Amino acid sequence: MKTLTTTQELQAFCDTARTHPYVTVDTEFLRERTYYSKLCLVQLAMPGDTDDTAVLVDPLAGDISLEPLYELFRDESVVKVFHAARQDLEIFWVDAGVFPQPLFDTQVAAMVCGFGEQVGYETLVRKIVKQQVDKTSRFTDWSRRPLSEAQKTYALADVTHLRRIYEHLAAELDKTGRAHWVAEELKILTNPATYDIRPEEAWRRVKTRTNSAKFLAIVRELAAFRESHAQSSDVPRNRVYKDDALVELASAKPRTHADLGGLRLLLREARRGAVADGILAAVEKGMACPPDQMPKPDRSREKLQVNPALADLLRVLLKSKTESAGVAAKLIAPSADLDAIAAGERNVPALSGWRYEVFGEDALRLCDGKIGLAAKGQTVRVVEL
């Protein structure tokens, strides 16, 4: 197997790849000690049945530029095939501001082809390629050099098997007419907003037991400081302080460095220096927040008057529709969205796009009393009223 370590070698491979209809792509990276993923390896393969059309690209080699790869990503005549692409795409977006176009994600495609929700690569290799994936190198430190032959073989398998998986799923989508379902889902993955982590919005990910606006104002400032500090220092946000420590800080409202010393959950490193100063400033800013600028949690669904009988009928309808379509129910609508529909809410994903085709249209007809449900043996069918 060949490892590319120079820009010229990568350029030659990418030039050849442009003569093919698709290229499969995967990455190996580390993120345990950094905020942003550290790209350690890129695997690429052109169509074929052997390993000689696949390569490893070493981005840690001193004199290599990934620009030829990014040029290939911009070439819309070649489909770029990934499995579970989100983290890979984030790396390329942060590094070069580029998304592979056109994109095909075999995990998304497999979900709409009846393989279940968030199906793993190993499962697809076993079910489609009829082979097993060697897992012995799964926990490799991919930043260490040199890589062993076993590690290289493991990494290369992530793109060689992907070729047959892609060809199988693409053919299935053409046969069922569901290619546009996948295209809708992939719009989220290629939207820059998906990867734009704004510090001022970070508080929405913190779980708290209170919706007090004053409390949430402090949570917002503490989360914003943590996110900004983690980004600028390139360390994981939990290395600054964890969520439970953040909630403790918002509750205790420390005013001095001595106050920080009395907190149980705060890391020792966060009780001094720039982090301690940032915490105290964030608490002070949160406490001084004017009432009209305090966070307003979304309570809209709390006020919904759910019709429990209708919600149950929607669950039965969803089960029936997803079984016949071969799609995971959670991919169409989580339980909370079904309750929202039963309460009259119409701004939910299940009522738009391909989900509307599968479930949403009949869900609305059920809510309007235009159809009913009838059981016949092991199946449930729609009855016109």
Domain layout of the chain by residue ranges:
2-194, 199-293, 301-384
pLDDT of 117 reads 82
Q: In the structure encoding, which two tokens stand for residue 63, read together? A: 């004199």
pLDDT of 352 reads 95
What topology is assigned to 199-293 in CATH? Answer: DNA polymerase; domain 1 (1.10.150)
pLDDT of 211 reads 86
Instruction: Say whether 301-384 and 199-293 share the same fold.
Output: yes
pLDDT of 50 reads 87
- Cα separation, 158 vs 155, in Å, equals 6
DSSP letter assigned to residue 129: I
At 64, the amino acid letter reads: I
For the beta carbon of residue 368, count every other beta carbon within 10 angstroms: 9
Rounded to two decimals, the pTM is: 0.89
pLDDT of 54 reads 97
Beta strands 2-4 and 379-384, pairing class: unpaired
Closest to 1 measured CA to CA, from 45, 60, 59: 45
| CATH number for the segment(s) 301-384 | 1.10.150
pLDDT of 217 reads 98
pLDDT of 33 reads 92
What topology is assigned to 2-194 in CATH? Answer: Nucleotidyltransferase; domain 5 (3.30.420)
Residue 22's alpha-carbon distances to 19, 163, 198, 327, in angstroms, are 9, 9, 34, 26
- pLDDT averaged over consecutive 10-residue blocks of the chain (385 residues)? 95 98 97 95 95 96 95 98 97 96 96 89 96 85 94 96 98 95 94 94 93 95 98 96 97 96 93 97 98 82 80 95 88 92 94 95 96 89 91
- Cα separation, 112 vs 172, in Å, equals 10
